Structure 1
Amino acid sequence: MRAYREAVRRLAEAKGFVPERRPLLEEAFDFLTSSPQPFLVLNAPTGYGKTLLSFALALRSLTDASLFDRVIHVLPMRSIIEDIQRTAEEAFGFSRTKMMGSSGEFMHLFPLNVTTADTFTWDLMKLNTKKRHRVKAGREFGYDYLTQASILTSLIIFDEAHFLLEDESMATAFDAVVNFLTSQGVPIVVMTATLSEGHRKFFRRYAGKYGYDFKVLSPNEEDPFVKRELEKDISIEFERGDPLMFIKPGKRNALIVNTVDRAVELYDRAVSDPDIGFERDRILLIHGRMTPSHKKSIIGRLQRLGKDDFLLIGTQAVEAGVDFSADVMVTDRAPINSLLQRFGRLARHAGDRTGKAVVITDAPAGPYPLEKVEKTLGLITEGSIHPRVPSTYEEIVTAVHGSSPSSVNRLINKGLKGKLLGLMSDPSKRAIHVLGEVERLVANGTPIMRDFLVPLSVGDETVLISPKKLLELYSGGLVKVKGVKFEIKTLKDAYRVAKAVALDENVEIVFTGDYDPERGIA
């Protein structure tokens, strides 16, 4: 436990807090450093400090690499990565971020490597996306075997894994990844606050197939964190109508809605209403169609406000990766896992005592499946759950997302999974073969991951947008597409551009409008 205690000390010094015991993380660390082939599912709530485990295991790998040479922390989205990377650099100075367009590193060789699920999957398939042009030209293999080998000698942590299991565009690739890693005996940790029984059985099946020591850990009511959180007064109410009606001036408010357009519309109304109850500089907007530097500046403003009153209006981008505490959370209706992520920002910090959530039951459900949204609202009643005590919501998560692996399997494209698994496991398939197969799949309209998102250049930064948004911006004269010889008149044309980007053709999409310093691309 020496490395664990050292990680706690360094983290406390860097962040300036008095550490509180986390028996669950101690048990997890002991299990992962004593079992010859561990597979751990860590079901801990938001705010528990699960990332400490990554730091501690990375420190352990520096002095004892008998079980794993390093740690690779895999996250479903970029927004969460930046906070972990910043903390790792401040406290330990030994992490490396690896994601599309962010790093020249071709292997995972640092004690702690933080990466996105997309980049991790490409690396496991032996395809270094930074080298695609040279691979295609036959000039090199792009470190294919070496990159994959750096993964197979690591301990892999899948953080917020429910995002990958519930995302139709990622579920197939993630299934192939777990299948291949377990076939190679790689130690695995799955961390999430909202894992259903069906998800647990999905992982248990692979662990059993390949002889892993499988364990599921959740905090009990004697855990210091749970005992502290149970003392907080957190209430959940259900209302209909305008979300702005339920904010509380003088309090820290978060208003989280399901779409960018809805967030911008509410923001515009809030800043133009003299009776809203907040100073203009305390009304903030954050969503996924902002540049990274813009989002970073908003988060900085939010953190500087601290315990002062504010009104933060945002989308799902706030669910994970934005560390703040609110007194009041007004949210559109959504599935249980998304609601729990949002509720997790209520009274988040140790000194907070009360929090109130208001769910708008007549809000648009999209982009979420209506069936899961309605089932969630039918199961939650006022006072029935506590967002940071898993025992109060685990049965609801299972009821919404399923109690058997079939809830995951229905999202899996078995043909695509077989192809991806073959590319990972066949040593005769080098980077050039992988690239060729990926190009054929994409050309046939099969998205491998993330459903053909399009990188939009905004100055020297990039914002990922959907083909639908590309068509909208192009039709409004706000986008110039370089490298294609056709006009973008229909959604089909926009998908042609997205496929060209996915195939790494010489295409550039440039935002030509005036970037709004408040609203981003809205």
Structure 2
Amino acid sequence: MRLLITEFQDFFDPSVPGLGVLRLPTGYGKTELFLQFAEMACNGNIERAVYVSPLRTLNEDLYRKLVERVPCLRENSDILAREYMERRESPFFHKKVIVTTIDTIGMHLHKIPIPELRALLRGFFKKDFSTRGHYPVSRSNVSESLVFIDEPHLMVLEKGMKQMFYNTLYYLLGTGATVVLASATIPGSMISNAKKLLETTRDMLKIDIKYTECLYGEKCGEADGRDEDFEEKALAKRVSISMSESLDDSLSLAIKRKREGKRVLIILNTRETVLKAQRKLLELGERPILLHGLLSKNDREERTSELLDMYKRGESYIALATSVVEAGIDISSDFMVAELSPLPSLIQRAGRLLRKDEDVDGELVILTTERRGPYDAKEVEVTKDLLVERLNRVALKAPWGKEGKMGYMKLVEEWDGLMRSDEGHIQYRKDNIKYKKDILSLKKDILSLSPRDQTLNINDFLTGELGRRIVSINAFIEGRRGDSVSVPVQDLFAYPKDRLLNEIRNIETCRENGKVLSKEEFINEIETMLSRERSIEKVNLYLKENCIESISISEDLYADIAYGGR
């Protein structure tokens, strides 16, 4: 256990209501701390340990570590669970150690328990709730828990998640949970917002909530917040950084480095760009290991295992991915191409470069295209401007920097300051008013047991940013027993109608719906909706109202979605 994590353990009490902020470097082993919390829950020293992240890859990696390295969980596997999307192992958060995502836990705390979503939606549409669900059970279980929120800054970079994150934090603090926020790149504004939320909760509810923090380079308990040994190793790493506007040139250089025996990682913002890059690499004689959010469950696990095995054997490779590898998969690379993204995200990507102590020399190419993907345009724009100005003065692998070099934590703080300050950067603030808004426009009813706000929450889910973000259909793949992929509606219906009629095999609706839906009706209805204003909202309502559970698709259609054809 590293120095500052040990220091944090000395003054943080996981058994009392409180908020802990842990800002420590990439590769420092912050998740090791959750393994200890999990062991405490397993042994009955705390009621429950819940791990929350924005990425399934983080969850799966953490789950593997829990199974491999916490003895009491190996011996009592029935107390360990994953609870998100295709993993439903503790529906009401009753098990002792739970790995989940921010949207899963957030839905429960907003009184929309996912196991009962169908019944709640039926009541919503018919305006007759026969049940309001058992949300008091899951909410109560979470309130008794230590909740470890990993990489919280990634939860607010995508639209629709910011309000859910802060509402969730407000509920946890207001009901006596113990919360830890952990990341290398939590911006100062997020820490300030969390502390403001803490004070609001204390004043409103008249309860004592302990606050502790371990901020690298500032303070950590009685220590000064520095780990000289870790920093010395980080400063010894030599990273050549360049910027490129050409994807083809970046890929050609990646192939050259791979053939020199280097481990290559390419992280791009969208699946479309990843598939374009894959086609180019295949043309040039290289088969990359592909990882993105539209691989089936089995394919994702196979590709991840393949990459980890090659890494452990010391083989060279090219891994090509979206942000799913930004955190979580425990690999290191010698050469990286990273498409421009908001600075905290970009730093997380660079955390996969020279990750191990023995890795010393590396290269980073920052691809500065116009494809910002799911990110806010101004956050990306400010990142680009800052990098152009600071590129030659950044010690990319060092958290704090030294001898005229700025560490990445200081760089993130400068970026955060530019996003919040008018001085010299009026153009960013003028066009991006959301940074002026007080994040504490909270749903105060979230603390109440009453279901009076549940209908509004369901409406927000169906019609708001979060609902638009996750409008997808679970598609089972023909010939693969039980293997499926969750496909966004807009991606599925980008294919021609004739092909969909031929390669969607059937539509599965829930039994109580009592309605058989033909392929033709299904495809015609959604195509019509997608051509109209507020289309995603209408599609979401249609899917829920008609109780469409899943579809089955051909292997060829899946191959096109996941791999751009084969």
Q: Shorter-chain TM-score: what band?
A: 0.7 to 0.9
Partner residue in 2 for 1:4: none
Retained in 1: the 8 A contact 2:399–2:410? no
Of 292-301 and 87-96, deviating more is 87-96
Retained in 2: the 8 A contact 1:126–1:147? no
Partner residue in 2 for 1:319: 326
| Sequence identity percentage | 22
- What is the CA distance between 1:64 and its match in structure 2? 5.7
Partner residue in 1 for 2:392: 382
Structure 1 CA distance, aligned partners of 2:439 and 2:346?
A: 33
| SS of the residue 2:161 aligns to | helix
Partner residue in 2 for 1:29: 9
Partner residue in 2 for 1:105: 90
- 1:288 alignment partner AA: G
Partner residue in 2 for 1:148: 139
Shift in CA distance, 181/474, structure 1 to aligned 2, threshold 3 Å: farther
Structure 2 CA distance, aligned partners of 1:142 and 1:105?
A: 16
Structure 2 CA distance, aligned partners of 1:95 and 1:268?
A: 40
Partner residue in 2 for 1:227: 232
Shift in CA distance, 415/462, structure 1 to aligned 2, threshold 3 Å: farther
Shift in CA distance, 513/222, structure 1 to aligned 2, threshold 3 Å: closer
Structure 2 CA distance, aligned partners of 1:501 and 1:28?
A: 47
Structure 2 CA distance, aligned partners of 1:467 and 1:342?
A: 28
Retained in 2: the 8 A contact 1:331–1:358? yes
Structure 1 CA distance, aligned partners of 2:554 and 2:538?
A: 20
- What is the CA distance between 1:206 and its match in structure 2? 1.6
Work out the number of aligned pairs and report it. 488
Partner residue in 1 for 2:253: 246
- The answer on 1:294 being equivalent to 2:333 is no
Partner residue in 2 for 1:164: 155
Partner residue in 2 for 1:44: 24
- 1:102 alignment partner AA: R
Shift in CA distance, 176/405, structure 1 to aligned 2, threshold 3 Å: farther
Unpaired runs of at least 5, structure 1: 1-20
Partner residue in 2 for 1:262: 273
Structure 1 CA distance, aligned partners of 2:561 and 2:536?
A: 24
- 1:464-488 deviations in Å (ceiling 9; x for gaps): 3434313303646246484547251
- What is the CA distance between 1:388 and its match in structure 2? 5.0
Of 469-478 and 258-267, deviating more is 469-478
Partner residue in 2 for 1:10: none
Retained in 2: the 8 A contact 1:257–1:315? yes
- What is the CA distance between 1:222 and its match in structure 2? 2.6
What TM-score comes out, normalization by structure 2 length? Answer: 0.77
Shift in CA distance, 37/147, structure 1 to aligned 2, threshold 3 Å: closer
- 1:362-407 deviations in Å (ceiling 9; x for gaps): 4533443332223222223135132452561233323333478899
Partner residue in 2 for 1:3: none
CA RMSD of aligned residues (A): 3.2
Shift in CA distance, 291/384, structure 1 to aligned 2, threshold 3 Å: same
Shift in CA distance, 369/34, structure 1 to aligned 2, threshold 3 Å: closer
Shift in CA distance, 512/410, structure 1 to aligned 2, threshold 3 Å: same
- 1:474-512 deviations in Å (ceiling 9; x for gaps): 646246484547251435455422333456833534434
Structure 2 CA distance, aligned partners of 1:34 and 1:89?
A: 22
Retained in 2: the 8 A contact 1:233–1:354? yes
- The answer on 1:122 being equivalent to 2:103 is no
What TM-score comes out, normalization by structure 1 length? Answer: 0.83
Structure 2 CA distance, aligned partners of 1:350 and 1:450?
A: 42
| SS of the residue 1:255 aligns to | strand
- The answer on 1:360 being equivalent to 2:367 is yes
- What is the CA distance between 1:62 and its match in structure 2? 4.4
Partner residue in 1 for 2:222: none
Retained in 1: the 8 A contact 2:4–2:227? no
- The answer on 1:506 being equivalent to 2:548 is yes
- 1:227 alignment partner AA: E
| SS of the residue 1:463 aligns to | strand
| SS of the residue 2:156 aligns to | helix
Structure 1 CA distance, aligned partners of 2:437 and 2:486?
A: 25
| SS of the residue 2:173 aligns to | helix
